[in-house]
Amino acid sequence: MDLNGLKIRVIGAGIGGLTAALVLRERGADVTVLEQAEAITEVGAGLQVSPNGMAVLRALGLEAALQVRAVRGQAVELRDYARGRLVSRLNLGALGDDAPYYFVHRFDLIDILAEAVRAAGVKIRLLQKVETVVPGDVPRVVLAHGQEVSVDLVIGADGLHSKLRPVLNGTVAPFFTRQVAWRATVPNTVGHGPVAKVHMGPRRHVVSYPLRGGEMVNIVAVQERSGWHEEGWHIADDPANLRGCFSDFEGETKALLANVETVRKWGLFRHPVAPIWHKGHSALLGDAAHPTLPFMAQGAVMAMEDAWVLGDALAKADDIEAGLAAYQMRRQGRVRRVVDTASKNARRYHLSAPPVRMAAHLGLTIASTLAPKAMMGHFDWIYRYDVTKDS
Ligand SMILES: Cc1cc2nc3c(=O)[nH]c(=O)nc-3n(C[C@H](O)[C@H](O)[C@H](O)COP(=O)(O)OP(=O)(O)OC[C@H]3O[C@@H](n4cnc5c(N)ncnc54)[C@H](O)[C@@H]3O)c2cc1C
């Protein structure tokens, strides 16, 4: 169908919403993004953009802009927490020259997308908190201050606490994983190279990777525990709590944690992938449809893939409903598999009993030494997939 002039409201100016706005605008739609915040900003944090995400940015002409502001990752290293001993190294170069893997500051990616979206003629309206959506052939977006707007299509890219998701699916309580995570950025005082390091300890792990030309290091630290209930990205914590929980982590990790001045902490919850992604002329996208745990670093990348398929499916369908049905069909299976893989990954890093730990580490060392390509090949289905070539 011809998207020219189709009036679309995208709820949420996150990575998913902005990518969708750009994809739909490039196909001729008249797109407005509604964002609840007073500015498009991001608290400091890093993001890994794997080659499957880069495929979408490339197709949108944004690869060069990202390259300038990102660090190209060379490897993922699994290390023991105590002495930092290398247990296993996955060479990201094995993915191929045409499949770059980047570490980028979230602010920089949002900024690149927002600039492209505005240049393409999309309107971004701030301080527009959506209260609910009434789906139908002419869906209505109801704002918190009471104003309503009727449009041709509504995309709910409003993240974890989406207003559209419960309208389509009802409310399902998420499952607490008994894990909490802290995230912070610090100056790169340790000469951290262009690799992602996973320091694995009993019931805890710390991931670090460089950002912004290697000037900064992003840290995500995860601990297994019980009795935590809050879910949300922006809950401030005292850095002393983070250092206390990881006080037996030695070497580089200790030095990085010593420099943390501001830290956010949140409980990790598992949410089922939404069974229903669309109704009438409204659809979910990104975390609103499928929040994922951070252990495969694929949440934002999946949102970008969704955005591409949404535009493609609508353009190829006879009408909006058929387009949205095709969009869900093309995305749901892959997204479920990625979300499941991320859920299983935490356990791999957190083995406690020493003999089990040693055996697991030995197995990883042997596998990465004898068959590095095969180890990396396990992830081909995620990283080597190019959604822009799959129709
Ligand atoms: C610590 C951590 C590390 C991560 N690392 C990675 C990584 O390395 N790689 C990766 O790909 N993913 C990663 N992710 C996941 C990724 O950040 C998310 O999956 C991604 O941001 C989802 O994008 P989104 O646009 O769907 O939602 P969001 O980024 O949550 O954006 C939603 C937007 O909607 C707005 N909004 C919400 N409600 C309303 C409303 N009612 N009205 C108007 N606006 C509203 C919000 O203000 C926000 O701007 C990580 C996540 C975490 C927590």
Could you tell me the CA-to-CA distances from 181 to 48, 93, 266 in Å, in that order? 17, 29, 6
Residues with CB under 6 A from ligand 1: 11-17, 34-37, 47-48, 128-130, 157-161, 163, 181, 183, 220, 233, 286-288, 294, 297-301, 303
Beta carbons of 225 and 291 less than 8 angstroms apart:
no
Instruction: Indicate the top mutation candidate among 143, 287, 310 to test ligand 1's pocket, ranked by most ligand atoms within 8 A of CB.
Output: 287
> What does the pLDDT look like over 76-89, one tens digit per residue?
999 999 888 888 89
Beta carbons of 56 and 20 less than 8 angstroms apart:
no
Q: Which pTM does this prediction carry? A: 0.93
Q: How far is CA 154 from its chain centroid? A: 22
* Closest residue by CA, ligand 1 atom 21: 300
Q: How far apart are CA 130 and CA 84, in angstroms?
A: 47
* Closest residue by CA, ligand 1 atom 9: 297
The DSSP 8-state label assigned to residue 384 in this structure reads T
Q: What is the dihedral of CA 300, 303, 308, 309, to 10 degrees?
A: 140
Tokens describing residue 143: 């704002």
> What does the pLDDT look like over 314-361, one tens digit per residue?
999 999 999 999 999 999 999 999 999 998 876 666 655 555 555 555
Reported as half-sphere exposure (CB side, CA atoms, 13 A), residue 32 has a value of 11
Quick one: what percent of the chain has pLDDT higher than 90? 75
Q: What is the number of the ligand 1 atom nearest to the C-alpha of 160?
A: 30
Residue 385 a catalytic site member: no
Q: How far apart are CA 250 and CA 235, in angstroms?
A: 26
Please give the pLDDT value at position 126.
97
With residue 90 as reference, give the H or E element that holds it.
Answer: strand 86-91
Please give the pLDDT value at position 345.
77
Type of residue found at 366: I
Strands 148-150 and 153-156, by their bridges, are unpaired
Burial (CB count within 10 angstroms: exposed 0-12, middle 13-18, buried 19+), residue 332 = middle
Residue 341 Cα to ligand 1 midpoint, Å, equals 19
Paired with 220 in beta bridges are 183, 207
Could you tell me the CA-to-CA distances from 198 to 3, 78, 146, 211 in Å, in that order? 44, 5, 47, 16
Residue 290 Cα to ligand 1 midpoint, Å, equals 11
Please give the pLDDT value at position 234.
74
Beta carbons of 262 and 219 less than 8 angstroms apart:
no
Instruction: Indicate the top mutation candidate among 47, 206, 269 to test ligand 1's pocket, ranked by most ligand atoms within 8 A of CB.
Output: 47
Q: What is the DSSP string of 175-217?
A: EEEEEEEEEEEEE--S---SEEEEEEETTEEEEEEEEGGGTEE
Q: What is the number of the ligand 1 atom nearest to the C-alpha of 292?
A: 19
Please give the pLDDT value at position 351.
57
Q: How far apart are CA 59 and CA 349, in angstroms?
A: 35
Q: What is the dihedral of CA 251, 253, 255, 256, to 10 degrees?
A: 160
With residue 379 as reference, give the H or E element that holds it.
Answer: none
Q: What phi and psi values does residue 5 have, to the nearest 5 degrees? A: 80, -5
Please give the pLDDT value at position 297.
92
Q: How far apart are CA 386 and CA 65, in angstroms?
A: 20
Residue 13 Cα to ligand 1 midpoint, Å, equals 9
| Beta-carbon contacts of residue 61 (< 8 Å; ≥ 6 apart) | 116
Please give the pLDDT value at position 10.
98
**Count of residues for the chain?**
391
Paired with 141 in beta bridges are 133, 149
Q: How far apart are CA 207 and CA 132, in angstroms?
A: 37
SS (H, E, C) 269-293: EECCCCCCCEECCEEECHHHCCCCC
> What does the pLDDT look like over 290-303, one tens digit per residue?
999 989 999 999 99
Could you tell me the CA-to-CA distances from 11 to 221, 270, 316, 319, 330 in Å, in that order? 31, 23, 23, 21, 22
Q: Which positions of the chain have pLDDT values less than 70?
A: 42-44, 228-229, 233, 346-376, 391
Catalytic residue among 209, 327, 349, 383, which?
A: 209
Sign of the Cα torsion 280, 19, 51, 293 reads negative
